[in-house]
A and B are shown apart, each in its own frame.
Chain A
Amino acid sequence: AQRVTQPEKLLSVFKGAPVELKCNYSYSGSPELFWYVQYSRQRLQLLLRHISRESIKGFTADLNKGETSFHLKKPFAQEEDSAMYYCALLKSGAGKSTFGDGTTLTVKP
């Protein structure tokens, strides 16, 4: 069975500080991994995916297959980064997806 774990429900940092949102997964095949973000009163939207290996809004995430992790990082947090962040795994082929419990990030001024 596939599983996604986000160990921190709440994370609070000051503006300008580095931030790391943790995500670990378990899956026997080759997963596709994503980070989705939900800003206040908005719908969930894709932030980034491991395949693209790009930086979005200053965020990056590297897939570490040895540690089965896909942590989200940003070197200098901004107040507008305050949101709920979900790590997600997509089972290729079948299209079944699994989300973590989410991490609420608060960036304080």
Chain B
Amino acid sequence: NAGVTQTPKFQVLKTGQSMTLQCAQDMNHNSMYWYRQDPGMGLRLIYYSASEGTTDKGEVPNGYNVSRLNKREFSLRLESAAPSQTSVYFCASLGSAGEAYNEQFFGPGTRLTVL
């Protein structure tokens, strides 16, 4: 099991450019999440998806869009990047059975810099 994987690991964008962050999990989890982590501000929820085909806004959704392509994949898109979106982005999935029930499993993160 690879768990939760994210690509890319690092990215530098210019203001106004667009990009998509990819996330996939191989644990057959229903719920998936996108967070951003900023110094002194902890983890803030951008979007989440309770199941395939559904997505909901979190605390800080402005400037982002998401796609739950299938049960495995949940992508985050920045249509027009801004310097305020410089952050570390984490994807997570939620365990749905057994000892892992309601435990969030995190990816390694994507460090994004917008110039």
Contact = CB atoms under 8 A, between A and B. Distances in A.
A2 to B, nearest CB: 10
Given A86-B43, A102-B42, A96 B103 contact: no
Interface of A: 6, 9, 32, 34, 36, 43-46, 49, 86, 88, 90, 92, 94-102
A95 B42 contact: no
6 closest Cβ pairs, A-B complex? A101-B42, A99-B43, A44-B106, A95-B31, A102-B42, A43-B106
Contacts of A96: 45, 48, 56, 58
Interface string B82-115: 0000000010101000000011101111000000
B44 A99 contact: yes
Q: How large is the interface on B (under 10, 10 to 19, 20 to 34, 35 or more residues)?
A: 20 to 34
B40 interface: yes
A27 B58 CA distance: 16
Interface of B: 31, 33, 35, 40-45, 48, 50, 56, 58-59, 90, 92, 94, 102-104, 106-109
Contacts of A86: 42-43
A104 to B, nearest CB: 10
A23 to B, nearest CB: 12
A55 B80 CA distance: 46
B113 to A, nearest CB: 18
B43 A102 contact: yes
